[in-house]
Structure 1
Amino acid sequence: MNSHDPLGPVMQPINRARGLPNAHYIDQAVFDAEKRRLLFANWAGIGFAHDVAEPSDAKPVDFLGMPLLILRDRAGVVRVFQNTCRHRGMILVDTPGKIRGAIRCPYHSWCYDLDGTLKSTPHVGGPGHNRHEDIDMSTLGLIEIASYVWQGVVFANIDGSAPPFTKVHADLLTRWREFDQPLHFGGETSYFALDVATNWKLAVENYCESYHLPWIHPGLNTYSRLEDHYNITAPGKFSGQGTLVYRQLCDDGKIFSDFAGLPDKWNEGAEYIAVYPNVLLGVQRDHTFAIVLEPKSCDQTVEHVALFYADDAADNDLKDKNADLWRGVFEEDLFVVEGMQRGRHGIKFDGGRFSPVMDGPTHNFHDWVARQMANRG
């Protein structure tokens, strides 16, 4: 093994592998490289479809410094554009809201349709002349970013180099095909955000394994025990955990409606999967959730959490209790991912070792990161 290859040990079989080196959690140069190779080159989560619930709704997003605009066009299709005017690079939309008419640049009033087409260029040929022979409007529409909506999440491939989402994640789409049906966002109280002093990858690592369950989630472990869980690993794509014991929330006899047509495996089963690079998903018989990890810096991450239901008729009090329950579970993890971040400053830490039995999902993620960064497929 090349001693100068810091990622070589990460790509070894799990019984011999070491975890990612400290630099992948605390070094700005590595963070910048991961931005390009992991987050911009793959299908990253950048927001939620319910943020643009109706035609003409738009929401600006700053994703690792990249100005993006999520909008729903007049046909109801969610689209993502670079939020930059093609004239002088001005930010087009600063605040979420409904686009009245056209997307108008606040600088020189160039206007774009919701499909990105450049519609007007006032005075571009001089006062009162709104056309110029050297300005080909057909080539100056907004730059569209490849996007795909699944499980309520807006995924985007910012640099445009990834294969189609449906090809990359064909296995997962098949695995969860029963949940390919309308999801109803639970409303204002079914969204919350957690500001976490950690690198975004540590949130992925912690989420996708159940090994920590007895010590970090003792309440959950009373009915969904460690031995009730199983590992999920799809090399190069996703990893996570499943449970054979999911307990429906019940309050004064009220429960959520089930998703239609689910097979028996979901009566008491549930699965929790990290979709690389930065989306964490959970499916149960009566609700789902999605977590979009927003990396802010090497050691700062915002976890955006949204819960979804099978229909709009879900009881509001029950939805509030469910959101509180999940918030409590996710908050139990905070001291762990923040503690690992602090621990990564230990200069003699060598990436750590994996349990060959319990850490398969985490090793799968480390191996994916290492291969992406080393350009080894």
Structure 2
Amino acid sequence: MPDDRMRPAMQHLAGVTAPIERAHGLPNAHYTDPDTIAAENRAVLEATWAAVGVGADVPAPGDAKPIDFLGQPLLLLRDDDGQVRVFFNICRHRGMILVDTPRRIEGAIRCPYHSWCYAKSGRLVATPHVGGPGQNAHDGIDKATLGLSEVRAHVWRDVVFVNLSGDAPAFEEVHADLLQRWAEFDQPLHHGGPDSTFLLELETNWKLAVENYCESYHLPWVHPGLNSYSRLEDHYHIEASGQYSGQGTYVYRQLKSETGAMFPDFDGLSAHWDAGAEYIAVYPNVLMGVHRDHAFAIVLEPVAHNRTREHVHLYYATRETDPALRAANAAQWKDVFEEDIFVVEGMQRGRAASGFDGGRFSPAMDGPTHLFHAWVAGRIAAEG
């Protein structure tokens, strides 16, 4: 039973999961209070399938990238068989960080402290002098049980998801509906390369980036250029309670070069995608978009209660695409996403107002955002 100190917070969370007509948003503490956010992180980010990067971060066998996620030192690595894996980035001997900068590992992963070495599969392969000078083995050190600690991971649409708690249902089970919804796009994706990725630093809590992305309500005022051809009234809601939410449009305008060239389409798409596109927040921290000729994924990195990094990656149907057109596409999306910065940062500053009760939702326009709030509140209640 929760003690009396917890009852007001739990009552407010009950208000978050209420029907949208009378629901409140999440309390301010979920954006401003480190202790509240730490408890939330355990329920919302550690016990689910949260994203930590993309396969394109480690494009070739041996490529390794250290990642700090929720204070946990992780290592994103592509092994010799081309499989993307995630390990805790620590030596099993004394807990030393193994890899401190992104790099190509040609042979073994060597600990810089005592030179214990690990294969890219995580297997411990060398323990120099562990039994004394010149003695590289010891009966008390069982190399078979001292490989790198691997983190449960799943790659979908090149996004690398991890389940830190290790006990979430399988990714394919959790997201079966979404995998079916976008089954037509279950085909090779090709990252556009260095000119198709960029980083945005935001002074806001990561949840506000999700909340803003879910809805099209703000288009006329925040994205007037985009709204000039893909209008508010051209959009529809995407609502899958407990899984994902977002928006779609019936009017997508393909980018053209000066000569009229466009990106190649993905193969075999149905007529819906001739002029349609969808933008979905995959709970908890991935924002995805699909179009007939390209796709994107945004991995939200929670840095602090009021700091978020948006890692944006663009993908295409073919490996070879026009560099100038790719650069123009990245610049166009960067402009759109930068238009949202003042909104999410303004909402973060607004959470310092003691008189704010979490806000209300428009029953007609805010359904996708309310679903995300309700999911967060539900996760906290279930874990609590």
TM class by shorter chain equals over 0.9
Distance 1:64 1:241, change over 3 A: same
1:352 corresponds to: 359
AA paired with 1:42?
A: T
Q: CA 1:228 to 1:72, structure 2 compared with 1: closer, same or farther past 3 Å?
A: same
Pairing 1:368–2:364 present = no
Q: Kindly tell me: are residues 228 and 90 of structure 1, through their superposed partners in 2, closer, same or farther at Cα, counting changes over 3 Å?
A: same
Question: What is the aligned partner in structure 2 of residue 303 from structure 1?
Answer: 310
Q: Is the 8 A contact 1:64 1:295 kept in 2?
A: yes
1:337 to 344, 354, 362: 344
Choose from 101, 106, 110 the match for 1:100.
106
| 1:317 aligns to 2:317 (yes or no) | no
**Take 1:234 and 1:199, find their aligned partners in 2: how far apart are those partners?**
23
* Corresponding position: 1:275 with 2:275: no
The answer to whether 1:111 aligns with 2:111 is no
The answer for the alignment partner of 1:193 in structure 2 is 199
Q: 1: distance between equivalents of 2:167 and 2:354? A: 35
| CA RMSD after TM alignment | 1.3
Letter in 1 for 2:200: L
| Residue in 2 that maps onto 1:139 | 145
Distance 2:272 2:217 in 1: 22
Matched, 1:38 2:15: no
SS at match of 2:311: strand
What's the secondary structure of 1:8's corresponding residue? helix
Q: Which one of the candidate residues 74, 78, 88 is aligned to 1:68?
A: 74
Q: String of CA shifts for 1:198-257, please: whole Å, max 9, x gaps.
A: 000000000010011111111111111111101111111110000000000012211000
Contact 1:2/1:8, CA 8 A, preserved across alignment: no
Q: What is the Cα deviation at residue 3 of structure 1?
A: 8.1
Aligned match for 1:77, one of 83, 91, 104:
83
| More deviation, 150-159/263-272 | 150-159
Secondary structure (helix, strand or coil) at the match of 1:7 reads helix
- Are residues 1:180 and 2:191 paired? no
| Structure 2 partner of 1:22 | 28
- Name the amino acid aligned to 1:286: D
Alignment gaps of 5+ in structure 1: none
Query: What SS class does the counterpart of residue 151 from structure 2 fall into?
Result: strand
In the other structure, the counterpart of 1:234 is 240
Offset at residue 34 of structure 1 (A): 2.0
SS in 1 for 2:24: coil
Q: Deviations over 1:62-95 (max 9, x none)?
A: 1121111111111111000000100000000111
Identity %: 64
- CA deviation vs aligned residue, 1:27-51 (integer Å, no higher than 9, x gap): 0101211222111111111011011
Aligned length: 377
Structure 2: segments with no counterpart, 5+ residues: 1-6
Equivalents in 2 of 1:35, 1:248: separation in Å? 38
The residue aligned with 2:3 is none
2: CA distance, partners of 1:184 / 1:340: 35
Question: 1:81 aligns to what SS in structure 2?
Answer: strand
Please say if 1:171 is aligned against 2:170: no
